[in-house]
Amino acid sequence: MMDLSQAKIRFNRSEESLLKKIGAIADKLNLETYLIGGYVRDKLLKRACMDIDIVCVGDAIKLSKEVAVIYNLPPPTIFKRFGTAMIKAGEFEVEFVGARKESYNKDSRKPIVQNGSLEDDQNRRDFTINALAFSLNKVSWGKMLDPFRGIEDLKNGVIRTPLSPKVTFTDDPLRMLRAIRFASQLKFDISLETLNGIKECADRIEIISQERITTELNKIILSDKPSIGFKLLHEVGLIEKIFPAMARLRGVDYVNGKGHKDNYFHTLQVLDNVAYKSNDLWLRWAAIMHDIGKPKTKRFNNKIGWTFHGHDAVGAGMTPSIFRKLKLPLDHKMKFVQKLVRLHLRPISLTKENITDSAIRRLLYEAGEDIDQLMMLCEADITTKNEGKQKRYLANYELVKEKMNEIEEKDHIRNWQPPISGEEIMDVFNIGPSREVGIIKNAIKEAILDGDIANSYKEAHSFMLNKAKEMGII
Ligand code: ATP
Ligand code: MG
């Protein structure tokens, strides 16, 4: 049953010495021991990987303790509930687990776990390419145990479940998202049978926690070309279950033969464009969210056709609740995404002729230190296939950026705070915290952004006195 083809893994020196030592300790304890799963896969694909999974037929915790002693490491962290142990060896995290057999009961999400053979252990793994085992014992060092032809699937770039897809996905529906995540990360195809299995089991995703779903979603988003994953999520019918607001971007309506662009696929193009330029997860989220307000603001006008007026503000308004629902952070990262959604149309308006310095200063002030990211998003948002138009739009943004640089050099707006604080206003007029303080402070800020006065303490101070007179405070 087992295919014992020779491995073609090349370890570097520190990996090899660590794994050989684990093998020698396993020999001493008389434990059949393997390197398994993602690490074997990534090594064969020559991808970087720091998480080493070790499986042994027998007491994995004992093995991990012995390895820690011989390596002079702190004792392993033991996860009793899972029967696993973890040690940190230099740059590597090594997880030890005993080979196990899992049986699932229809009415429960939790499997019944029993000790098992290596083969049992390989059977419970999600995909053929994740079930490869590389022998670490001295007599069989380097033998690859590949019962499901995972190496062939690796060569052909195919994701396939080891057992029938229906069994694998019903046992643990998260695996459907993992399949799509691996397809996106590795640029692999999902085998037809496996893909059909996902379509069939898609409803079952509802028993998986939002945290685990979002972890996979973020891994899709961080892949080189995230549209691969999102197109699959759409194809199998998972996107509407895990991220309905995004699914609503899909589709084109027609009135009098006039359609608009499909905003799902447009968004994916923007996401890929951003991903090509930046690895920042939150900038990528801003790309996903930038048009999220479009379905709610879509109107048809006989004269001008389809409009999405206000989708920037509506999208910004939707951002906190979507982040909350997806269990994404609600801190400054959400605020950053929200800010970019809110401002994503503003640079377009700055490409019009006769733009005033004050309009540029305002955007610099509002975007603050996120202005470069905002411009990246805007450039990524140009998805026209017409090369002439594309060049022209990009050139327009170059002009805007030049102007911004000029103004920034002159006025230093990016990290700017108005030259007079609320405390100073209270001091000067001998008043307590009040609405008046806010009005004066805001008026100073507006006057500087509008260019009515220079960005200097002196001019701001006399402006403040005039404003206070006007308000009858002095
Ligand atoms: P990555 O580390 O890039 O997320 P990985 O394949 O190493 O990818 P891990 O979550 O680290 O994924 O899991 C290690 C191994 O455990 C996998 O390669 C696979 O064999 C197995 N595994 C993980 N999650 C599951 C699951 N939900 N169902 C079945 N097997 C799984
Ligand atoms: Mg891993």
- pLDDT of res. 6: 47
- 129 alpha carbon, closest ligand: 1
Question: Residue 2 — very low, low, confident or very high, per pLDDT cuts 50/70/90?
Answer: very low
Question: Residue 112 — very low, low, confident or very high, per pLDDT cuts 50/70/90?
Answer: confident
Going by their DSSP bridges, the two strands 51-57 and 92-98 should be labelled as: parallel
Residue 3 has pLDDT above 50, yes or no: no
Q: By mean pLDDT, which of 8-12, 344-348, 360-364 is the weakest?
A: 8-12
- pLDDT of res. 107: 67
Share of the chain above pLDDT 90, in %: 85
Residue 373 has pLDDT above 60, yes or no: yes
- 37 alpha carbon, closest ligand: 1
- pLDDT of res. 207: 93
Distance of alpha carbon 22 from alpha carbon 71, whole angstroms? 10
DSSP assignment of 356-388:
-HHHHHHHHHHHGGGHHHHHHHHHHT---S-HH
Residue 372 has pLDDT above 80, yes or no: yes
Distance of alpha carbon 445 from alpha carbon 290, whole angstroms? 28
Q: By mean pLDDT, which of 105-114, 119-128, 238-247, 377-386 is the weakest?
A: 105-114
Q: pTM of the entire structure? A: 0.92
Q: What is the mean pLDDT of the chain?
A: 94
Q: 167-193 pLDDT, tens per residue?
A: 999 999 999 999 999 999 999 999 999
- pLDDT of res. 82: 79
**Which atom of ligand 1 approaches the CA of 185 most closely?**
3
Sheet harboring 133-135: ordered strands across? 77-79, 84-89, 92-98, 51-57, 32-36, 133-135, 144-145
| R_g of the chain computed on alpha carbons | 29
Q: Please compute the mean of the pLDDT values over residues 132-161 and round it to a whole number.
A: 96
- pLDDT of res. 455: 87
Question: Residue 4 — very low, low, confident or very high, per pLDDT cuts 50/70/90?
Answer: very low
The CB of 172 under 6 Å from ligand 1? The reply is yes
Q: 6-26 pLDDT, tens per residue?
A: 447 889 888 999 999 999 999
The CB of 344 under 6 Å from ligand 1? The reply is no
Q: Please compute the mean of the pLDDT values over residues 122-146 and round it to a whole number.
A: 96
Q: Please compute the mean of the pLDDT values over residues 377-397 and round it to a whole number.
A: 96
Q: 268-310 pLDDT, tens per residue?
A: 999 999 999 999 999 999 999 999 999 999 999 999 999 999 9
CB 87 within 8 A of CB 43: no
- 47 alpha carbon, closest ligand: 1
**Which atom of ligand 1 approaches the CA of 53 most closely?**
14
| Nearest in space to 353 (alpha carbons), one of 391, 400, 404 | 400
Cα of 206 to ligand 1 centre, how many Å?
20
- pLDDT of res. 417: 86
Q: Which residue's alpha carbon is at the smallest distance from atom 7 of ligand 1? A: 38
Q: By mean pLDDT, which of 283-297, 349-363, 392-406 is the weakest?
A: 349-363
Cα of 39 to ligand 1 centre, how many Å?
9
The CB of 162 under 6 Å from ligand 1? The reply is no
**Which atom of ligand 1 approaches the CA of 175 most closely?**
27
- pLDDT of res. 193: 98
Best probe residue, ligand 1, of 55, 121, 130 (max atoms within 8 Å of C-beta): 130
Cα of 336 to ligand 2 centre, how many Å?
30
CB 190 within 8 A of CB 175: no
Tell me if the domain spanning 13-156 has CATH number 3.30.460.10. Answer: yes
- pLDDT of res. 135: 97
Position 125, amino acid: R
Which residues make up the CATH 3.30.460.10 domain(s) of the chain?
13-156
CB 42 within 8 A of CB 31: no
Question: Residue 1 — very low, low, confident or very high, per pLDDT cuts 50/70/90?
Answer: very low
Contacts of 208 (CB under 8 A, 6+ apart): 173, 174, 177
Q: Which residue(s) pair with 305 in the sheet?
A: 301
Distance of alpha carbon 252 from alpha carbon 81, whole angstroms? 50
Measured at the CA of 45, the angle between CA 4 and CA 32, to 5 degrees, comes to 35
Tokens describing residue 36: 């398994």
Question: Residue 111 — very low, low, confident or very high, per pLDDT cuts 50/70/90?
Answer: confident
Cα of 7 to ligand 2 centre, how many Å?
19
Q: 24-46 pLDDT, tens per residue?
A: 999 999 999 999 999 999 999 99
Distance of alpha carbon 334 from alpha carbon 320, whole angstroms? 7
- pLDDT of res. 354: 80
CB 30 within 8 A of CB 138: no
